[in-house]
Amino acid sequence: MASIKMIRLTGLLYLLVIIFAGFGQGYVRGILVIPENPVETASNILQNKGLFQLGMTTDLLAFLLDVVIAILLYKIFKPFNATLAMVSSAFRIVAHPAIGSLNLLNHYMALKVLNTETLPGSFETTQIQQISAYFMEAHQYGYLIAGAFFGVHCLLLAILIYRSNVFPKVFGGLLLGSAAGYLIETFGNFNAPGYEGYTALFVGVAAALGEVGLTFYILLKGTTESYKNLKEKTL
């Protein structure tokens, strides 16, 4: 069975992921990218190059940590259902370390095309700004695709929590809400555009209750008393 130290390490890494990803997606792109306004977005990116690049860096750090978290979650839940734990962790690895990391190329290219010295001879400034905006839009849709995989991960993680005694079952219910939030945002924005503000709010609240709540429980409590007692009996 997983040690208490391993479980607390998982919580610490999860907190770092929340901070890094929240900074990159919530703060940096939240203040620099202006939807439907490529001119202002391009101006914001050029005037805040360092911040824009830092957002990409913190995102990448979050995705690297997610690989470790996926493995730790597998080890924690393997004694209860090895197959389900493996599938759950696989979806997490595909979501952000794989799709999310590759998707950062769109983030990088949005700045690259604005800095290049070869495009101005072939394109007008407004066209270059629009190309940059398209890269940021592609990044957003790539984020949504990753979100679908992460939503399935949250769903499977919720089931694992229900079937084990590692964490209180209430977090299984909250993670079901997180899973619904990610899946609704992804499939809703692709198939019923125009409600992006509502779906973003939904997934933000659902993720805060599920993921952030579980993270702070792990950091403060570690695990349930019944799990601690069970572990002591197996030693």
Q: What is the pLDDT of residue 104?
A: 96
Residue 235 has pLDDT above 60, yes or no: no
Contact predicate 214/171, CB 8 Å? yes
Residue 217 has pLDDT above 70, yes or no: yes
As a whole number, mean pLDDT of residues 169-184 equals 94
As a whole number, mean pLDDT of residues 153-171 equals 94
DSSP class of residue 131 equals H
Task: Return the higher-pLDDT residue of 133 and 198.
Answer: 133
The strand ranges marked E within the chain are none
Q: What is the pLDDT of residue 198?
A: 80
> Range with the lowest mean pLDDT among 11-20, 130-139, 192-201?
192-201
Task: Return the higher-pLDDT residue of 97 and 35.
Answer: 97
Domain containing 65 equals: 4-234
Predicted confidence band of residue 172 (pLDDT cuts 50, 70, 90): very high
Q: What is the pLDDT of residue 234?
A: 59
Residue 188 has pLDDT above 60, yes or no: yes
> d(Cα 68, Cα 26) in Å, to the nearest integer?
23
As a whole number, mean pLDDT of residues 76-95 equals 96
Residue 233 has pLDDT above 70, yes or no: no
Mean pLDDT over each residue of the chain, to the nearest integer: 91
Q: What is the pLDDT of residue 4?
A: 84
Residue 121 has pLDDT above 90, yes or no: no
> Range with the lowest mean pLDDT among 27-31, 59-63, 202-206?
202-206
Residue 54 has pLDDT above 80, yes or no: yes
> Range with the lowest mean pLDDT among 20-29, 83-92, 117-126, 191-200?
117-126
Number of domains the chain is built from: 1
Contact predicate 113/135, CB 8 Å? yes
As a whole number, mean pLDDT of residues 204-214 equals 90
Predicted confidence band of residue 93 (pLDDT cuts 50, 70, 90): very high
> d(Cα 107, Cα 215) in Å, to the nearest integer?
28
Q: What is the pLDDT of residue 117?
A: 67
Q: What is the pLDDT of residue 228?
A: 76
Residue 138: Cβ within 10 Å count: 16
pTM above 0.75, yes or no: yes
Q: Which residues contact 196 (CB under 8 A, 6 or more apart)?
A: 189
